[in-house]
Structure formats: C-alpha cells, structure tokens
C-alpha cells in the first residue's frame, strides 16, 4: 500500500491543473454568476439567486451539460491520456494494474467530490448570509444527487477509457454509451410506430424506463421531466426518490469500476500504446453498430411487421459481416505499412 501513496501523489501532481479547470468549468454558473450580481448590485436583493434556483430545480442545461462532459473528459485524460508514455513506465514499476486504475478512480472521484462540496458550501453560506430564493435543503438535495450522478459518469468514462484507444475515441464512445438508452428506445419506438399502434401508455412506460437508465436525467432536484420524442414537450413529471436514486448511482459507479479493473488487468499495452482495442471489443462494437443500422434501415424499408423482422435480421447479419470484412482490410493495410 505504500506504493499507493506514491501513485496518489503522482495523480495529483499530474492532473491538479485539470481539476482546477474542472472546478472553474463546473462553478461558472453557480459561483461566478452570483458574484457578478453582487458586484453590480442590480434588481431585488435576492435576484442574484434566481439562476441558482433554476439550476437546483431542473439542473439547468448549461451547467449540467458542461459538468457531464467535463467529467467524461477528465476520465479520458486520466487514463487514455497516459497511454504511450507514462503508462508504459508505470507498468514496469512495482505497481499492479489494479493499483493504477484504483488510484485514478479514487483521485478523480475525490476531485469531483471536492469540487461539488466547495460549490455547495459556497451556495449554502451565500444563502445564509444574504436573502436568497432557495433554501439550504434544496442545495443539499441537488448536490447529493448531482455528485452521485457525476461520480457514476466519471466511473463510466474510466471504464470506457480502459478499452478504447485514444482520448478522443474514449470521450466520444463514453458519450455514445451514456446516450444509448435514449437512442435505442427512441429508435425502437419510431420503428414500431410504423407498423403497430403504439399506445401512449406504452410510450410513457418506455420513457419512464429510459429516464432511469439515462444518467443525466438524475441531475434534477424536484422533478423529472419525461420528454416525448417528437415534440419537446414534457408529458409527465416524477418526483426523485433521493435515497434510492443515490444508491443506484453509487452501485452503478462501483460496478463500472469493477469492470474497469477486470478489463484493465487483461488489457495489453502493445505497440507502445497505440490502438489497444482488446480483441473482442471490435466484434461487440460491430455487432452493436450493425444492430442499430439494421434497425433504422429495416424500419425505413419494411411495410409490415413480418417483413420488417425479415429485413432486420438479414440486414443485421449483412452489415455485421461487411463491418468485419472492413476491419480485416484495414488491419491488413495497416500491417503492410508497418512491419512489427
């Protein structure tokens, strides 16, 4: 464990600037905006807190979006960013791969925790000292749920970075996975709407499921908005169940972390860290991508449910085989340029 201390020091020394940046980025709305109000002193005494109130209530899109992206980017930087240089050095030292990824998880999570803590304290203290349109309880509710969601996203980002090759591909892929429940359900509903009557009750049920699978939706305080796919209108609201949701998020976070350890331990660092997709990932990616493409394409082309199913199955297989062939060709071309 003494080795962990060394790793913790290294992670801090390597990434403290990024943590600082993340803090500025997260805290831009909640902290900076009120400060500008105080400097300019315009409007009602508690006008400065209006923006905050919105953030706390709905998870205002800018802060939410920015925080989600920031946390995923941080995870990508911390793991994928080290491949090729530092990671190769590290793996030849007396640290195990498990220790490497565990310290990254700990340090990143602590950073997120600290940033959220700081912002919450600021808001609570400001709310106590000055008249504000929000209460301390609201801050606490928002902060705990948001922190849990962000930790879950960070963990997911780290997991994705264990098997995707570079920083950019980690970031993109992590975002794709986060959005997956939403994409899948919307696509399926759209396809089925063509051939069957999709009752609004069914649609609502589907959307309820999505809202619990779609992590960003957890970043709300007092209600969830269920959006319909076609028009941006909310069709219902759901009260968040704090203890349950926080537990789900933290458990998911631990699950992603455990998976990340398993994958990272098996993952070879070949060819000085260039493109290390571990074998099966390519196949899974191909199966998956072809599934989505077949779903959309068959939906467009088919005229009845049976023909849709037929088209879908044929297309899924066909696109999958085409993708595998494509990957083989790319690998062959790559190999003929670079002799190992």
Binding site for other proteins (CB under 8 A): 2-3, 5-7, 9-10, 13-14, 84-86, 88-89, 91-99, 265-266, 268-272, 331, 335, 339-340
> Looking at beta carbons only, is 92 or 128 nearer to other proteins?
92
Residues 186 and 292: their CA atoms lie apart, in Å, by: 11
Of 99 and 236, which has the nearer Cβ to other proteins?
A: 99
Length of the chain: 340
Smallest gap from Cβ 165 to other proteins, in A, equals: 15
With respect to other proteins, which residue has the nearer C-beta, 222 or 274? Answer: 274
Helices (H) and strands (E) in the chain, counts: 12, 2
Of 233 and 272, the one with the shorter C-beta distance to other proteins is: 272
Nearer to other proteins, 12 or 242 (CB): 12
Closest separation in Å from C-beta 75 to other proteins: 19
Q: How far is the CB of 96 from other proteins (least distance, A)?
A: 4
Helices (DSSP H) in 167-279: which residue ranges? Answer: 167-195, 200-213, 242-266
28 Cβ contact partners less than 8 Å away, ≥ 6 residues apart: 63, 66
Please state, in angstroms and rounded to a whole number, the distance separating the CA atoms of residues 18 and 1: 26
Residues 36-68 as b or e (16 or more Cβ within 10 Å = b): ebeeeeeeeebebbbbbbbbbebbbeebbebbb
| Separation CA 230–CA 156 (nearest Å) | 29
Give 7 or 246: the residue with its C-beta nearer to other proteins: 7
CB of 112 to other proteins, least distance (A): 22
Is the Cβ of residue 51 or residue 108 nearer to other proteins in the bound state? 108
Q: What's the CA gap between 226 and 189, in Å, rounded? A: 15
Q: Report in angstroms how near the CB of residue 92 gets to other proteins at its nearest.
A: 4
Q: Over the range 201-225, which residues count as b (16 or more CB within 10 Å of their CB) and which as e?
A: eebeebbeebbeebbbbbbbbeebe
Q: How far is the CB of 163 from other proteins (least distance, A)?
A: 15
State the minimum distance, in angstroms, from the CB of residue 327 to other proteins: 11
- In the complex, what is the shortest distance from the CB of residue 108 to other proteins, in angstroms, rounded to a whole number? 17
Nearest Cα residue to 214 out of 57, 54, 77, 68? 68
Handedness of CA 280, 281, 283, 288 (dihedral sign): positive
C-beta separation of 286 from 296 below 8 A: no
Whole-angstrom CA distances from 75 to 13, 112, 251 are: 16, 11, 18
Query: Of 177 and 269, which CB lies nearer to other proteins in the complex structure?
Result: 269
């Amino acid at each position: 464990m003494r080795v962990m201390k060394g790793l913790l020091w290294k992670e801090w020394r390597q990434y403290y600037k990024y943590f600082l940046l993340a803090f500025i980025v997260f805290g831009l709305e909640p902290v900076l905006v009120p400060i500008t109000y105080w400097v300019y002193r315009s409007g009602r005494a508690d006008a400065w807190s209006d923006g905050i109130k919105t953030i706390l209530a709905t998870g205002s899109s800018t802060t939410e979006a920015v925080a989600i992206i920031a946390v995923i980017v941080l995870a990508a930087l911390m793991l994928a960013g080290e491949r090729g240089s530092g990671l190769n050095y590290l793996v030849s030292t007396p640290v195990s791969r498990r220790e490497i990824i565990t310290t990254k998880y700990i340090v990143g999570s602590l950073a997120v925790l600290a940033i959220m803590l700081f912002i919450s304290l600021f808001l609570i203290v400001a709310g106590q000292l000055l008249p504000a349109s929000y209460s301390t309880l609201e801050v606490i509710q928002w902060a705990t749920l948001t922190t849990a969601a962000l930790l879950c996203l960070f963990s997911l980002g780290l997991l994705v970075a264990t098997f995707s090759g570079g920083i950019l591909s980690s970031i993109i892929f992590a975002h794709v996975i986060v959005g997956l429940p939403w994409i899948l359900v919307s696509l399926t509903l759209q396809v089925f709407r063509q051939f069957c009557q999709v009752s609004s009750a069914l649609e609502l049920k589907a959307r309820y499921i999505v809202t619990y699978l779609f992590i960003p939706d957890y970043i709300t305080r007092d209600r969830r908005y269920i959006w319909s796919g076609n028009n941006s209108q909310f069709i219902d609201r759901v009260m968040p169940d704090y203890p349950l949701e926080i537990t789900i998020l933290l458990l998911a976070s631990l699950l992603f972390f455990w998976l990340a350890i398993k994958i990272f331990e098996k993952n070879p660092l070949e060819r000085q860290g260039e493109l290390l997709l571990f074998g099966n990932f390519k196949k899974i990616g191909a199966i998956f991508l072809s599934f989505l493409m077949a779903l959309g394409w068959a939906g467009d082309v088919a005229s009845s449910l049976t023909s849709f199913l037929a088209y879908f199955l044929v297309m899924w297989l066909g696109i999958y085989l085409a993708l595998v062939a494509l990957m083989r060709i790319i690998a062959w071309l790559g190999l003929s340029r670079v002799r190992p």
